[in-house]
Amino acid sequence: MVLYQVGSLYGFVKAAGGRLNHVKAHGALYNMAARDPLLARAIVDAVHDFDSGLILFALANSEMVMAAKKTGLAYASEVFADRTYQDDGSLTPRTQPNALIVDEQQSLNQALMMVNKQQVISASQKVISLKADTLCLHGDGAHAVEFAKTIRENLLKEGISIKAPVRL
């Protein structure tokens, strides 16, 4: 199913004159594959089999990162500016209270810590090490535009360049 979806996406991107650069599972599939090595491997294999030059966006420290490393597929460790984390480095499920960060300053502080220190503070205040190659901010959040502007402005002030990962 993942191979079929990547192929379909490729067709739409090509028809629009673009080039597919990266692939990212979404929602429940993304979160399940972050924890399940067999599911992670299936996604990685599908992406690799379709185009081994694509970049897989995967939750930092996840099973998807491990599977990509084993397969030799390029990946970008993804972190989230508007989600809270659990002690194991997973995202707090949206069904739980405080899964979403709704305070702009908290989101900014978390983004800067992840990028500058390669760490995040979990919901129970545990420091978690992670690699931050790409930063996700959900566009459906009530304050997404304001968060994005503030985060971008502050990353640039800190001398951090913002650019798309480059495919192989």
What residues contact 122, with CB distance under 8 A and at least 6 apart? 84, 85, 86, 87, 89, 128
Tokens of 121: 């503070």
Whole-number Cα distances in Å, 83 to 23, 25, 102: 20, 17, 9
What residues contact 75, with CB distance under 8 A and at least 6 apart? 55, 56, 57, 58, 64, 65, 68, 69, 133
User: What pLDDT is attached to residue 42?
Assistant: 98
Average per-residue pLDDT for the chain: 95
Residues (pLDDT < 70) of the chain are 168
Check the CA dihedral 68-70-73-78 and report its sign.
positive
User: What pLDDT is attached to residue 168?
Assistant: 63
Where are the chain's structural domains? 1-78, 81-158
The string of pLDDT tens digits covering residues 32-41 is: 999 999 999 9
Q: How many CB atoms lie within 10 A of CB 21?
A: 13
Q: How many CB atoms lie within 10 A of CB 82?
A: 25
